[in-house]
Amino acid sequence: MDKKPLIGVVGPCKSGKSTLIRGLQAAGYNAKQIAQEHSFAPRMWQQLTNPDALIYLHCEYPVTVERGLNWREADYLTQQPRIAHAREHADFEIATDVEEPGVVLEKVLAFLRDGGY
């Protein structure tokens, strides 16, 4: 039996990681959220997970607040260097503040299918 590829998902808080993970899992993918935004180790995503494909979700600060996160912009900005290495090495990046969750899922699924994952 072939082992399913591991799909890692990173991004700032409230970027839609959990929503995307649920959609990917429902579609039969082995998907895992990587809490890189909380780590001071820039390569944690590689060391702990080392996914076959890395998806980066981008979301601007005002949208995170609209989505219910009660935090300061300084907190959001603190996360950016923590996720920078993952963003640089992502296989696919999508802005979740301009796309609806269903569209994000469809675009990620299309990327995965096209990439043979």
Structure tokens at 58: 């981008």
pLDDT (tens, 9 = 90+) of the chain, 117 residues, equals: 457 899 999 999 999 999 999 999 999 999 999 999 999 999 999 998 999 999 999 999 999 999 999 999 999 999 999 999 999 999 999 999 999 999 999 999 999 999 999
Domains of the chain, each with CATH number or no CATH: 9-114 (3.40.50.300)
Residue pair 14/67 in contact by the 8 Å Cβ criterion: yes
Burial of 102: CB neighbours in 10 Å, binned 0-12, 13-18, 19+? exposed
The pLDDT, as a whole number, for residue 3 is: 78
For the entire predicted model, the pTM comes to 0.94
The pLDDT of residue 1: 43
Q: Residue 99: which residues within 8 A CB-CB, separation 6 or more?
A: 107
